[in-house]
Amino acid sequence: MEITYPAYELPSWQARALTQAQYDKLSLLCERYNVPFDPTHYRVWSDDASMTKGFAEGWVGGIDYAPGNDQGNRSTIYIGVEPNGDSHS
């Protein structure tokens, strides 16, 4: 699938950029939860990782929306998104 999302700078700990399907799923989830979307908030595992190969994972909206952080009652879910866009929470 062709990448059509805006380019972003990869954090040094990131294995690779999101696939288009991962970007689309995560941005949709952020929209549904009414939280900001930033692709650098998600860890993307390499395609040769021992588990979750190629998955992008993190709290929808970033770590600020994890339970107990400073967003009041606005906590979201921790999500894993496969390279094809299938998600698991």
Q: In which element (H, E) is residue 56 found? A: strand 56-59
Model confidence at 72: pLDDT above 70: no
Model confidence at 11: pLDDT above 80: no
Which is higher by pLDDT, 6 or 27?
Answer: 27
Q: Where are the alpha helices (DSSP H) in 1-89?
A: 20-33
- Edge-to-edge strands of the sheet including 87-88? 43-44, 56-59, 78-81, 87-88
Contacts of 69 (CB under 8 A, 6+ apart): 63, 75
Which is higher by pLDDT, 23 or 68?
Answer: 23
Which is higher by pLDDT, 49 or 64?
Answer: 64
In the chain, what are the domain boundaries? 20-75+82-88
Q: In 3-state terms, what secondary structure has residue 61? A: coil
pLDDT of residue 32: 95
Mean pLDDT of 8-12: 79
Model confidence at 1: pLDDT above 70: no
CA 27 to each of CA 42, 48, 50, 51, 68: distance values in angstroms, whole numbers, following the listed order = 11, 25, 26, 24, 23
